[in-house]
Amino acid sequence: MSQTQPLLRVTGVKMRFGGVVALGGVSFDVGQRQICGLIGPNGSGKTTMFNCISGIYRHVEGDIVFEGRSLNNVPRHDMAGIGLGRTFQNVALFRYMSVRDNILVGAHNTAKSGYIANALRLPSVRREQDAAEKRLYELLDMLDLRQVENTPAGAIPFGWQKRVEMARALMTNPKLLMLDEPAAGLNHSEVDELAGLMTRIRDELSLSILLVEHHMSLVMRVSDKVVALEFGLKIADGTPEEVRNEPEVIRAYLGEPEEESAHAGVA
Amino acid sequence: MRNSWLVAAFVAFATIYPTAVFSDYHLFQATMVLVYGVAILGMAILVGFNGQISLGHGAFYAIGAYTTAILMASWNVPYWVTIPISAVVCAGFGFLIGLPALRLAGHYLALTTFALAVAIPQILKHRWFEDWTGGVQGLVIDKPDAPFGLKLSSDQWLYLFTMFVAVLMYLFAWNLTRGRIGRAMRAIRDQATAAEAMGINLAMVKTRTFAVSAMYTGVAGSLGAIAVAFVAPDSFSVFLSITLFVGLCAGGAASIGGTLVGAVFIEFVPNLADKVSKAAPGAVYGVILIAMLFLMPVGAGGFLAGIWRKIVGQRAG
């Protein structure tokens, strides 16, 4: 099917909450350096899928393979280390910590120093800190966050908080950046900036992006491929152009044309 | 950089001036301020920086105090050697208590640790341990004299010794809370799910932080036992845990410097209250406490840090 191994391969993933089937066996791939949009109406299972990949939920059936390695039993705190960075739907920042410290937390998995080394502030700790700060400043510039560096993350505007979250996820050095509704709550011009930012991140840091998003025009604009879900099942998978024209997707978003057709039948 | 020189100057002054000028009794009080400071610092690391609530840190204080007292009374271990031993013992206890704490959040953890504080005086009195602990009578230990033939009273020497240990403990805490581990602790406090997604092992950081916290309060217990030269079960009642918690809140939970203000508060305010009203010192204490929390809702540490930022900010801007 593909010439190289995909970065992420999701195969037949099922997830239930009590009696409710949230995912009924979903399969798709995310390729290297690809931006993959995951779309679907409310309750279609997008965020559930997202949380299965990052281990917050444990799917009951199916397989999620990242770089040839199954994620099924990987502890959540190891996800960052193997290359999965993520943001959260409702922004999950460390509110009382400065923007700077928020982003530096993303470097946790790239360093090793422990309690004693930190308490004594050994040279190895300083080296880690210097390396982390160098990347911190690159990201602060890339995401235009310099001026709020020392402000508590809870005290800056929502749109800025989303960028802090993205910087924090990038600080983990991900191979796959997972963004959960990054455009939610942003105004028109901010969405435009976000689109440019995502392609820049992909190109400059050469990583893949999995994007869960409601904002259709954004998804269609930036994605290399789009996967559409409805009621926990995949209804389309292809280029933005293909998915846009898929009758199932049109139906899911615009509703059944059955009333009109019924009327037409009567007439 | 300038800040660290100021802190160094402050420490030098706080070391030399009381030693030279204070009476033995006032030096003892100053020593106890340092002791409580370290004890509250242990709580600040756990509660303020990591967001795990403990109402039972008096138990670790007691374990530290008894470790030192037993080592000195039964095995004639020099007082300064007992400090690192007590640190290890208390860290071990803290780690063990930290394990069930992983499954308990918020007020459940507060109650569980509270139960520990309720139990500890009775455990210390129990006849199984009586041979070591001295039961209800407690243990009397010798106050150490100044070494190397220094012409210092034992209170003067103890103040210097306590100051030395406290400075080390504060320095380590400052480094710890500002680096990678400190950020992980605070991240867990603010948003555990996100912290985990950033690669922080919640169970590991929480149990180790509990161990560090218990170690701090335990070392304070050891220093306190040496300063008082006596330990008895009823010195470590539930009230001690509550008092330490009050000191933590008065100082500001996530403030290193604030712990000293908290320590001053719990050392002097009860005496002050007693002077104001012999009949109802508790009521006066309560009023002072409420007034303090009303004036400085973020604790003295946050209050002073705010003033400091204003002064420095104005000069810089």
Model confidence at B310, in pLDDT bands (50, 70, 90)? confident
Kindly report the CA angle at B15 between B11 and B17, in degrees rounded to 5? 115
- Our count of domains for chain B comes to 1
Neighbours of B287 (CB within 10 A): 14
Please give the Cα distance from A168 to A153 (Å, whole number).
12
Between B127 and B232, whose confidence is greater?
B232
Do residues A103 and A168 touch, judged by C-beta distance below 8 A? Answer: yes
Please give the Cα distance from B13 to B30 (Å, whole number).
13
In a domain? residue B136 = yes
Tokens of residue A64, six digits: 């999620």
DSSP string, A143-198: TT-GGGTTSBGGGS-HHHHHHHHHHHHHHT--SEEEEESTTTT--HHHHHHHHHHH
Name residues 184-223 of chain A within 8 A of B (Cβ).
Answer: none
Please list, in sequence order, all residues whose beta carbon lies within 8 angstroms of the beta carbon of residue B121, skipping any fewer than 6 positions away: B62, B233, B234, B236, B237
Name residues 13-42 of chain A within 8 A of B (Cβ).
Answer: none
Look at the block and give the residue holding tokens 């919640």: B202
Smallest Cβ distance to B180: which of A80, A96, A118? A118
Model confidence at B309, in pLDDT bands (50, 70, 90)? confident
The mean pLDDT value for B130-134 works out to 78
What's the pLDDT tens digit per position in B30-84? Answer: 999 999 999 999 999 999 899 888 888 999 999 999 999 999 988 889 999 999 9
CB-based contact, A128 to chain B, within 8 Å: yes
- Average the pLDDT over each of B99-108, B186-195, B216-225, B245-254 and give the range with the smallest value: B99-108
In a domain? residue B266 = no
Model confidence at B313, in pLDDT bands (50, 70, 90)? low
CB-based contact, A109 to chain B, within 8 Å: yes
State what percent of residues in chain B have pLDDT above 90: 44
In a domain? residue B108 = yes
Neighbours of B311 (CB within 10 A): 9
Q: Comparing C-alpha atoms, which of B44, B77, B32, B27 is closest to residue B255?
A: B44
Tokens of residue A137, six digits: 């400043």
Neighbours of B232 (CB within 10 A): 21
User: What radius of gyration do chain A's Cα atoms show?
Assistant: 20
Please list, in sequence order, all residues whose beta carbon lies within 8 angstroms of the beta carbon of residue B230, skipping any fewer than 6 positions away: B138, B139, B140, B141
Q: Domain segments of chain A: what residues? A: 1-83+174-267, 92-171
Interface test with A, best of B172, B180, B213, B256 (most A CBs within 10 A): B180
CB-based contact, A121 to chain B, within 8 Å: yes
Please give the Cα distance from B183 to B188 (Å, whole number).
9
Q: Is A71 helix (H, G, I), strand (E, B) or coil?
A: coil
Interface test with B, best of A54, A82, A93, A118 (most B CBs within 10 A): A118
3-state secondary structure A219-231: HHHHCCEEEEEEC
In a domain? residue B289 = no
Average pLDDT, chain B: 87
Tell me B203's DSSP state: H
Which portions of chain A are predicted below pLDDT 70? 1-3, 256-267
In chain B, whose CA is at the least distance from the CA of A95?
B190
Do residues B98 and B207 touch, judged by C-beta distance below 8 A? Answer: yes
| Contacts B195 to A, Cβ<8 Å | 94, 105
**How large is the angle between the packed helices B258-276 and B238-251, nearest 10 degrees?**
120
Do residues B286 and B269 touch, judged by C-beta distance below 8 A? Answer: no
CB-based contact, A133 to chain B, within 8 Å: no
Tokens of residue B267, six digits: 């050392």
CB-based contact, B218 to chain A, within 8 Å: no
Between B271 and A127, whose confidence is greater?
A127
Smallest Cβ distance to B197: which of A86, A113, A125? A86
Q: Do B184 and A108 touch (CB under 8 A)?
A: yes
| Contacts A53 to B, Cβ<8 Å | none
In the predicted structure, residue B137 carries a pLDDT above the cut 90:
no
- CA B248, B229, B174, B304 torsion-angle sign: positive
Q: Comparing C-alpha atoms, which of B248, B252, B218, B205 is closest to residue B102?
A: B205
Q: Comparing C-alpha atoms, which of B197, B191, B193 is closest to residue A79?
A: B197
Helices (H), B130-234: 130-133, 154-178, 180-190, 192-197, 202-228
What's the pLDDT tens digit per position in B155-188? Answer: 889 999 999 999 999 999 999 999 999 999 999 9
Residue-level pLDDT at A1 = 46
pTM comes to 0.88
Please give the Cα distance from B181 to A95 (Å, whole number).
18
Residue-level pLDDT at B276 = 84
Residue-level pLDDT at B291 = 82
Smallest Cβ distance to B197: which of A54, A107, A119? A54
What's the pLDDT tens digit per position in B221-244? Answer: 999 999 998 998 888 988 899 899
Greatest Cα-to-Cα distance within chain A, rounded to the nearest angstrom: 84
Smallest Cβ distance to B197: which of A79, A96, A115? A79
Smallest Cβ distance to B175: which of A92, A109, A118? A118
Q: Do B187 and A115 touch (CB under 8 A)?
A: no
State the residue range of the domain holding B216.
2-234
In chain B, whose CA is at the least distance from the CA of A91?
B194
What's the pLDDT tens digit per position in A32-51? Answer: 999 999 998 888 899 899 99
Interface test with A, best of B47, B183, B255 (most A CBs within 10 A): B183
Do residues B271 and B281 touch, judged by C-beta distance below 8 A? Answer: no
Residue-level pLDDT at B32 = 95
Helix (H) or strand (E) holding B146: none
Please give the Cα distance from B199 to B222 (Å, whole number).
36
| Contacts B179 to A, Cβ<8 Å | 113, 118, 121, 125, 129
Please give the Cα distance from A2 to A22 (Å, whole number).
29
- What architecture is domain A1-83+174-267? 3-Layer(aba) Sandwich (3.40)
What's the pLDDT tens digit per position in A236-263? Answer: 999 999 998 888 888 887 776 555 444 4
What's the pLDDT tens digit per position in B81-93? Answer: 999 999 999 999 9
Residue-level pLDDT at A266 = 43
